[in-house]
Amino acid sequence: MPIIRIETFINTDQAKVFDLARNIDLHQVSTAHTNERAIAGKTSGLIELNESVTWGSQAFWNCAEA
């Protein structure tokens, strides 16, 4: 089975990257094209240990182009 490996190097400290990765508001901005949003649980800010978020989205796929 093939393995695909992607590495991203970010020139900043690990704490900042970790906080951006768990930022619900930033995720919603980055997925605006699919209208993805937090709909239940923790719905904004930084998600913390033992918290959960439920995501909802609406994506349109054009099967004719596949």
Q: Is the pLDDT assigned to residue 41 strictly greater than 70?
A: yes
Q: Which residues pair with 38 in a beta bridge?
A: 55
For every residue of 21-49, DSSP letters joined together read: HTBHHHHHHHTGGGT-EEEEES-SSB--T
Q: What is the pTM of this model?
A: 0.73
Mean pLDDT, rounded, for 14-19: 96
**Could you give phi then psi for residue 42, rounded to 5 degrees?**
-75, 120
Rounded average pLDDT over 30-49: 93
What band does 25 get if pLDDT is binned at 50, 70 and 90? very high
